Structure 1
Amino acid sequence: MDGALMDATVAAARVGDRAAFGQLWVELSPRVGAYLRSHGVGDAEDVTSEVFLAVFRQMGRFEGSGAAFRALVFTVAHRRQVDWHRQRVRRGPWVAWDDAGHDPAAPSAESAALAVLGDEWVVALLATLTPDQRSVLALRVVADLSLEETAAVLGKDVGSVKSLQHRALARLRKELSGKPYPREALARLNPRHA
């Protein structure tokens, strides 16, 4: 759109001409969207719509040429992209919703495969422990029982449970890293599990 046509379109939009609003949208929205995407705005289409809503709300008060209108649009776009980034810092990263994709409540095939492989790996790792060591770890870590509660369930004294837990953790660490379990690591464990 050349300068004279832009000036006339802005003047028509200022007095409420809906077709002029549409022409301004068609002319400038792709550029605004590209500007927003170039600044890393993830939902550029939504933010572009917000920019034009804000600009069109103030059209009745706007005084100026087509070039001044274009400057106004990009000033608002810049402020919206700054706001968008500030919100991401406060709210965390933006994740696009893929409406045409799979049901997010259903696990993907990859997730299901990794879960099965992960379960198999954990079972194989736990198979390196004695039955008593596996029982102690399951009761202490998974069931979150205290030493006393674990001892009562297994019919053992608290000292035996501590010893079994220590040996089980040492064995798992050795299996995972090939290095012996450091004694000082026990001091860092949650006192409930020590």
Structure 2
Amino acid sequence: MDAAEERRFREFVSARAPALMRLAYLLTGGDQHSAEDLVQTALAKVVTRWGRLDEPEAYVRQVMYRQQISWWRLAWRQRETSVADVPEHPAGRTGTHEAELRMILRKALARLTPRQRAVLVLRYLEDLPEDEVARVLGCSVGTVRSTAHRSLARLRTTAPELADLRLSEVIS
């Protein structure tokens, strides 16, 4: 590629990068990092043919579509692994189950007040003693105890799936 073609390519990339990123973002289902990878991969493939292209943007878009389909097919093939015996999960819990519990916990915590959330996070997830939580939040130990009690009761009513678990088990 000579200097004039390189300059034309750089101008094309700087002018069309936002539109290409928007397209890649939609193609990847809203994954910013995958979108950046898709644009970069497509441009790396296009630069080798730059001097021979009549409509460079149409070609870049076509490369992006095809590359995303290739990645999707590759991911689909790699999703399943055949094994002779089904692997055992401790206590009947699977990775999917744990992920669901984390999402339930996040939604349940979002329903609490900021103070209730802070008490639960500091006390049970950060494993701070009650007096340390009280010092951090600027309240009494009694307030921490009562807030934790009420917050846990509210979590149990809004997310009964979490009733049998310790919060630290869901997060880890």
TM-score normalised by length of structure 2: 0.38
